[in-house]
Amino acid sequence: MKLHEMSKDYIGFIESDMQGDQLIECLDSIQDSFDDKANNIVKLVNSLNVDVDGIDKELKRLQAMKKAITGNQERLKEYLRYNMEVTGISKIKHALFSITLGKPTVTVEIVDIDFLPDNFVSTEVVMKADKKAILKALKDGEDIPGAVLSTGKSRLLIK
């Protein structure tokens, strides 16, 4: 008998006209079966906890594996980018893909944020330079204490 059927029977006996020892005997019988079912459900829940713990461990293992693979991808791409840059090879064509070494973007390097004028600094919980505004101003020829233009890495494009 299913647990929900036992519950209906239990409630049915309580609401019935049955009284005395006969009612107590029926309720005790259902209670014993109900307790057994409840114990089995708790055992099943506990065994499922083992599955959940195993899945959590497997997720952590897979996340670590993903992080390692992603790191390897980035290192290999950086290795290729660097060696293409050193050799002066800027384009490689293959039947399945092409590799292009793009020109580096001009970026702002903040030398000393304390010297930046207030209009080039946005203040939050920590002091942060407004690199976009500084880049624009430096490109426009302004001299900004605490910042200089520098050339970043070339970009590796794989299509």
pLDDT, greater one: 85 or 38: 85
Count Cβ atoms below 10 Å from residue 147 Cβ, excluding itself.
24
Q: Is the pLDDT of residue 96 over 80?
A: yes
Rounded-to-integer distance, Cα 77 and Cα 157, Å = 9
pLDDT at 131: 94
pLDDT tens per residue, range 1-31: 788 888 888 888 888 888 888 888 888 888 8
pLDDT, greater one: 25 or 114: 114
pLDDT band at 33 (very low <50, low <70, confident <90, very high): confident
The residues facing 98 across adjacent strands are 93
The residues facing 147 across adjacent strands are 110
Residue 149 parent element (H or E): strand 147-151
What are the residue boundaries of the structural domains of the chain, listed by start? 3-85, 91-158
Rounded-to-integer distance, Cα 137 and Cα 127, Å = 19
E-strand ranges in 11-135 read 91-93, 98-102, 106-110, 121-123, 127-129
Contacts of 27 (CB under 8 A, 6+ apart): 10, 13, 14
The mean of the pLDDT values for the chain is 90
pLDDT tens per residue, range 122-144: 877 778 899 999 999 999 999 99
When computed from its CA atoms, the radius of gyration of the chain, rounded to whole angstroms, is 35
pLDDT band at 153 (very low <50, low <70, confident <90, very high): confident
pLDDT at 72: 98
